[in-house]
Amino acid sequence: MRYALFAIIEEFLRYFFSFLSAFTRLFLHFLYFSSLTYVIGGKLSGLRANQELLRANGPGLRANQGLLRANGPGLRANQGLLRANGPGLRANQGLLRANGLSALVYFLMHLMAAYIRKTI
């Protein structure tokens, strides 16, 4: 009698979880298609208005490009500092190699934490 009761409960749970899985899948499909129709159907006028704003912002973008070109010498000076800092970086690389085992353990800890976050 007890085994029959457990079998009935097990069958009930199996049907319940299969229904829950199918319902979740259908609900996700509904959300996906409803968001597509919302973006495609309802937002075209807003997208067109944004295109006009982007076109109007063209000269500002070009002016910023000019500033970037003018900043070229400063960037080159920073590159010189980076080159001068090369020996210090190489010395730090030597320390990292000596500390490689703990760096590997640290990397594996972060990898596992990212995997756990992704699966939750």
Q: Which residues contact 96 (CB under 8 A, 6 or more apart)?
A: 103
Residue-level pLDDT, tens digit, the chain, 120 residues: 677 888 888 888 888 888 888 888 888 777 777 666 555 555 555 555 566 665 655 666 666 666 656 656 665 666 665 565 556 656 555 555 555 556 666 666 777 777 777 765
103 close to 96: Cβ distance less than 8 angstroms = yes
- Per-residue DSSP letters for 12-45? HHHHHHHHHHHHHHHHHHHHHHHHHHIIIIISHH
Angle at 22 between CA 17 and CA 23, to 5 degrees: 95
